[in-house]
Structure 1
Amino acid sequence: MRRKIKRIALLIITNIFVLLQCLPANATDDLVNPMQTYLSIETKLKYENMMQSYQKGYEPIVEDEKVILVLPLKVEKGIKLDSNKLTASIKVNDGTTIPFKMRIYEKVFNLETVKSKSGKSQELYLVTFSLPLDENRINGSYPVNIQTKYKVKGQNVVQDFGLYINIKDGTEAESSSSTDAMRTENNLEVPMSEPAVSLGGNTSDTTGSENQENSGAPKIVVTKCSVSPEKPIAGQEMTFQLVLENKSKMEAKNLKLSFDSELGEIVPVGMQNSIFIDTLKAGGSQTVSFTMKAQEAITKVNQKITLSLKYVDKNGAELTDDQILFVKLGQPISILVDKAVINAEVESGKKTDVTIKVFNTGNTTIKNCMCSLDVDGLTDGGITFIGDIEPGASKQGKITAAVTQKSLGKEGATEDEKYGSTEGTLTVTYEDPSGTSYQEERSVRTKIKKSSKEDSDDKKSVKRSSQWSVSLVIGMLFIYIMTAIVLFIRKKRQP
């Protein structure tokens, strides 16, 4: 009987101990939210094969018949990818035109310490792809998706990042033909048949020009022409520089060079629209320059300037010549970027949209408008492409971001450090038709609140902790009672 009681008591004690071990304080600590993403783009630094950081409007390098994509990815604080590696691949939607050769592009990248061009080192996954370009590529902007796959605590996670490839060295989608073939030299359009701008005779009287040349009269030729700045803008001043050379064996005297705009939309700076040269010896040359200013409101991009040249030969005979120059004028960029719009309060573990509206208030098309987000606690999928915006039009950009925590993964972080008010910037980048980049920044503010699931988990954790404490007390009390019973029976049976 005594042995039987001992066995029963030992069995009860063992079972209670096992049950207590199976009651953890928080059974959800090691679970991973399958909707959560844990990678974000490192936006502030430049790395190998990057001309600018993502914050400054990163654009993939296109050269040597290839395009190089660089995606520096950092892991949220306190998070570790299983095996410290991820798999990245290039994804393109069916039917989408691409400028590179279609192949399967997939690589495995390991976590490594990477030094930026400024010398600062960071631990990140430097995702890099070198894609061979198609020989028949067409100029334009092409969206490309880099898909990453990785595991966190055994849970599979898929996260996409969007990039845009700008092709400028391909063929035009629509080519326009012209009866007058032209070439461009320093933004000046010159007839293809002429190696330089010629002022050697009256362009409207070919016979007179030939007679002038055959008679040995002075022949003045423009051997060089340029305009500064190289890309003149409407509303700004521009300086033309011409090199006049006397190609004949006769001296030219009393040269007068006048310049006038056909539409009157480019006017001389100052009171004079003429330049005077006393003599230009046979075989000699003279550099002349003059400054003009274009009106802000122009009716044509291609402006015509008439150069009128008058001079006399050694016999006092007056010679005249008119030469036409064309100059392409760019339009000044003018945009209005509205405030960034986001919910005043967002919930951790869910997704939220951040929108921005861009208005083109100028007279020229805004090219390759994009936006990116940099806010603690909000993880986006990279750069969002807004597109080209025509004059007078507007477009909206929308970034869908995953809401995490302000100090995700920080050990010992308090509730105030994890949740509450957070702020950062939304950066809008864009280009003018010449490819010059600009950017605007807008502040983003919101409040991150704890998700209902996290609240529920906390309550369950407290409840489990209370249940565990009660179970422990009951178990100890039961052990005490059973021990007392055994001792009582043993004492009772002693003689």
Structure 2
Amino acid sequence: MEMRILKKIFWIFCAVGILADAFVMKAWAAPEVIPEIEVDEENLYTGMDKTYKDGYRPRVENDTAHMVVPLVYADSVKNNILKVSLNLGNGKDIPFVSDTYEKEFSLTREKINGSEQTADCYLAVFDLKLKGDRKNGEYPVILTVQAENADGGPIHKEFTVKVTITDEKTPATEPSSEEPSTGEPSTEEPTTEPSTKDPTKEEPTTEPPAEEPKDDLNGAVDVTGPSGGGSGGASSGGGGGSEAPTFAPKMIVQSCTSSKEDIQAGDEVTLDITLRNTSSSESVRNMTVTIGDEGESLNLLSPTDTVYVDSVPAGQTCVVSYKYKILASAAPGAYGLTVSMDYADSKAASQSASGKIKMMVAQAVKMEFDTPVLDAEVQVGDVVNVQMQAMNLGRGTVYNVRAVIEADGLAPEGTLFIGNIEAGKTASGSTKVNVSGLSGANLYGRTEGTVTCYYEDENGKEYEKKMDISTTIKTPFSNKEEMKTDDTGQWWTVMAVIGGILVVFVVTIVLKSIKRNRKDEAEEESE
């Protein structure tokens, strides 16, 4: 009898063990992977000359950048519609015409790779109008994608597409003060009639103003004098009508070089300005060069804004230098400097000319990143949320701040994206990281890696900063107390109920067995 009772208890405990194993396996089941919106990098769609994997860039033509972004989503979204908006950045050097770009795109089946093969995607297409005075360079455009999943939950993702400008166009400037090379009179033959010229191409004749009226007057007397007729007077007169025209030499600003290749706010810089005498026969004498700046962000360190140059021979150049201090508060951009020149030509007549140079000033990019928040110990199978904060300590906006996590045993689900950060502001971002075993012989132990932070200034120049991270990867069975999640709490509740039932069942069986034994004993005694 007792053996039967023990067998029943044994089988009951076996059943309880099987149930416990089932709940443990459920608690350690792999978490469900939530799909995210992605850009199809593998396939070529209409309007694209390259795939994103091969370095796609929007096509620029007719003052328009044609952007194509194929978006794919592994799950379904509400009404099969994605809302896409564009952030073109800010700053006066961006090539895009300021406008609001926001559209809704439906799920469609598109032809891919120039064949009859098709694929389902949300094909986002934008035509970005370009400014007429754009500059060459790469300019990031941030796409923000928003939608709702089938359960009504929000979906949000951001992507960056760079637009490459190669057809730089500058705004219309004042007509050049340089004389056309064909306007020099040194090779022309003298004529017997007063020479004329196209006033749209040449400067007025610079004959000495004090003597010219007298020469004209004498010539007129010779022609009309009593000694000869009109033709005879013309042949014998010594007036100015028989002289070839002469032109005043022209001075232009030929070039400007600075002591620093990249000028930043707070720097001291020396500008070397090259001036050229465009005349092939006339020299320039007694020249003064005066420089003037625009705005209050440039502080002239040179003793004076005027430089004296004794002479500049025909066809030759001279260099004048000025030293500037750029204030730390200077806004990034181009600063114009006007160069004015006053000089005398070979006939001592006063002449003047002016030109303009531009000095590009950038704000120094100063970023600080907090070390990413990562637990000192993680377990295989965990999905941890890694957060990081960034601070913009500079005076200009920083764009596309993001971080890439690389470490053995850690598999991020994507780039940790923070976005644009204005001057003096702080922003943060996060990403999920799956914990797997180490790649070596030992699956568990300490792992070390890097977090590479990327960001861009207002001109699209990219910077990077690296930081070290480390953690210890442990086996999921090394510390069962750490397994207390919501599912684990439910498991303990169920086990407590099963244990209570088991105790009641065992007590009931034992009591029935005792009662049956007593009854048997009583019957034996009565017999």
TMscore range, shorter length: 0.5 to 0.7
Whether 1:396 aligns to 2:428 is yes
Is 1:424 aligned to residue 454 of structure 2? Answer: no
Q: Please report how far the alpha carbon of residue 375 of structure 1 lies from its aligned counterpart in structure 2 after TM superposition.
A: 2.1
Q: How does 1:230-249 map to 2 (within 5 A)?
A: 231-238=262-269, 240=271, 242-248=273-279
Q: Amino acid of the residue matched to residue 405 of structure 2?
A: L
Residues 135, 141 of structure 1: alpha-carbon distance in 2 compared, 3 angstrom cutoff: closer
Q: Distance in 1 between matches of 2:298 and 2:174?
A: 25
Alpha-carbon shift at residue 445 of structure 1 (Å): 2.7
Aligned positions, number: 333
* Residue 219 in structure 1 maps to residue 239 in structure 2: no
Shift in alpha-carbon separation, 1:377–1:211, aligned structure 2, 3 A:
closer
Task: Calculate the TM-score normalised by the size of structure 2.
Answer: 0.50
Alpha-carbon distance in structure 2 between the residues aligned to 1:135 and 1:68: 7
Shift of 1:393: 0.4
The answer to whether the aligner puts 1:136 opposite 2:127 as a matched pair is yes
Residues 308-361 of structure 1 show CA distances to partners (whole Å, capped at 9, x for unaligned) of 322122233443445454434211111121222123333321211111111111
Find out whether 1:166 has 2:146 as its counterpart.
no
Indicate the percent of aligned positions where both proteins have the same amino acid.
23
> Quick check: 1:193 aligned with 2:173?
yes
Contact 1:61–1:67 (CA<8 Å) still a contact in 2? Answer: no
Q: Aligned partners of 2:414 and 2:318: how far apart in 1?
A: 52
Relative to structure 1, the CA distance from residue 36 to residue 450 in structure 2 (aligned partners, 3 Å threshold; closer, same or farther) is farther
Which has the greater radius of gyration?
A: 2
Shift of 1:404: 1.9
**Contact 1:260–1:267 (CA under 8 A) maintained in structure 2:** no
* Helix, strand or coil at the partner of 2:276: strand
Instruction: Report the CA distance between 1:211 and its aligned residue.
Output: 11
RMSD: 5.3
Q: Output aligned runs, 1:79-228, within 5 Å.
A: 94-97=82-85, 134=125, 136-137=127-128, 140-142=141-143, 164-169=159-164, 184=170, 192-194=172-174, 213-215=204-206, 216-224=247-255
Pick closer, same or farther for the CA change 1:35–1:274 going to 2, 3 Å: same
Quick one: distance in 2 between partners of 1:268 and 1:255? 21
Q: Distance in 1 between matches of 2:322 and 2:124?
A: 43
Pairs within 5 Å for 1:364-403: 364-403=396-435
Go from structure 1 to structure 2 and tell me whether the alpha carbon gap of 1:450 and 1:88 turns closer, same or farther (over 3 Å shift). same
Deviation, 1:273, is 4.7
Q: Which has the higher contact order (CA 8 A, sep 6+)?
A: 1
**Is the 2:448–2:469 Cα contact (8 Å) retained in structure 1?**
yes
Cα distance in 1 between the residues matched to 2:125 and 2:277: 49
8 Å Cα contact 1:60/1:165 also seen in 2: no
What is the DSSP-based 3-state SS (H/G/I as helix, E as strand, rest coil) of the residue aligned with 2:470?
strand
Q: Given the two structures, how large is their TM-score scaled by the length of structure 1? A: 0.52
In 1: Cα distance, 2:358 partner to 2:179 partner: 15
Which residue, 362, 376, 381 being the options, matches 1:344?
Answer: 376
Asked if 1:443 corresponds to 2:468, the answer is yes
| Preserved CA contact (<8 Å) 2:401 2:417 | yes
Gaps of at least 5 residues in structure 1 are 1-22, 38-47, 49-57, 70-86, 108-130, 146-159, 172-181, 185-190, 201-208, 458-495
Give SS of 2:423's match.
coil
Equivalent residue, structure 2, for 1:354: 386
TM-superposition CA deviations, 1:245-294 (whole Å, max 9, x none): 33456321122323243445434565565544433344x14153535333
Letter aligned with residue 451 of structure 1:
P
Counterpart-to-counterpart distance in 1, 2:354 and 2:479 = 81
Alignment match, 1:307: 339
Cα 1:67–1:35, aligned 2, differ >3 Å: closer, same or farther?
Answer: farther
Q: Measure, in 2, the Cα distance between the counterparts of 1:288 and 1:371.
A: 47
Structure 2 CA distance for aligned equivalents of residues 295 and 440 of structure 1: 27
Which stretch has the larger CA shift, 369-378 or 286-295?
A: 286-295
CA–CA distance in structure 2, aligned partners of residues 198 and 231 of structure 1:
30
Q: Show structure 2 runs of 5+ residues with no match.
A: 1-17, 34-41, 43-51, 60-65, 87-100, 113-121, 130-139, 147-154, 181-199, 207-246, 484-527
1:35 to 31, 35, 55: 31
The whole-number CA distance in structure 1 between the counterparts of 2:411 and 2:370 is 22
Change in 2 beyond 3 A, CA 1:333/1:93 = farther
| Distance of 2:467 and 2:456 partners within structure 1 | 18
CA contact (8 A) 2:275 2:319 kept: yes
> How far apart are the structure 1 equivalents of 2:255 and 2:277?
13
- Using a 3 Å threshold, how does the CA distance of structure 1 residues 453 and 347 change in structure 2: closer, same or farther? same
